[in-house]
Amino acid sequence: MAGRTIAVTGAASGLGKALRARLEADGARVIGVDLHSCEISADLSSPGGRAAAIAGVLRACDGVLDGLVPCAGVGPQHPPDRIIAVNYFGAVATVVGLIDAVASSSASPAVVMISSNSTTMTPGAYAELAEACRSLDDEPRALAIAADAHPAVAYAASKVGVGRFVRRSSLPFGGRGVRINSVAPGAFDTPLLQQGLDDPETKDLIEAIPIPLGRRGKPDDIAAVVSWLLSDGARYVHGANLFVDGGTDALLSPDRFP
> 21-38 pLDDT, tens per residue?
999 999 999 999 999 999
- 88 given a catalytic annotation: no
Q: What is the predicted pLDDT for the residue at 118? A: 94
Place 133 in a pLDDT band, splitting at 50, 70 and 90.
very high
Q: Is 21 exposed, middle or buried (0-12, 13-18, 19+ CB in 10 A)?
A: middle
Average pLDDT, the chain: 94
Question: Comparing 43 with 257, which gets the higher pLDDT?
Answer: 43
Rg (CA), the chain: 17
CB 45 within 8 A of CB 53: no
Place 111 in a pLDDT band, splitting at 50, 70 and 90.
very high
> 160-195 pLDDT, tens per residue?
999 999 999 999 999 999 999 999 999 888 777 777
In CATH, what class is 5-114+166-243?
alpha beta
CB 19 within 8 A of CB 227: yes
| 244: alpha, beta or left? (left if phi > 0; alpha if psi -120 to 50) | beta
Q: Is 26 exposed, middle or buried (0-12, 13-18, 19+ CB in 10 A)?
A: middle
Domain boundaries, the chain: 5-114+166-243
Does position 105 have pLDDT exceeding 90, yes or no? yes
pTM of the model: 0.94
Place 139 in a pLDDT band, splitting at 50, 70 and 90.
very high
Of 88, 126, 155, 236, which residue is the catalytic one? Answer: 155
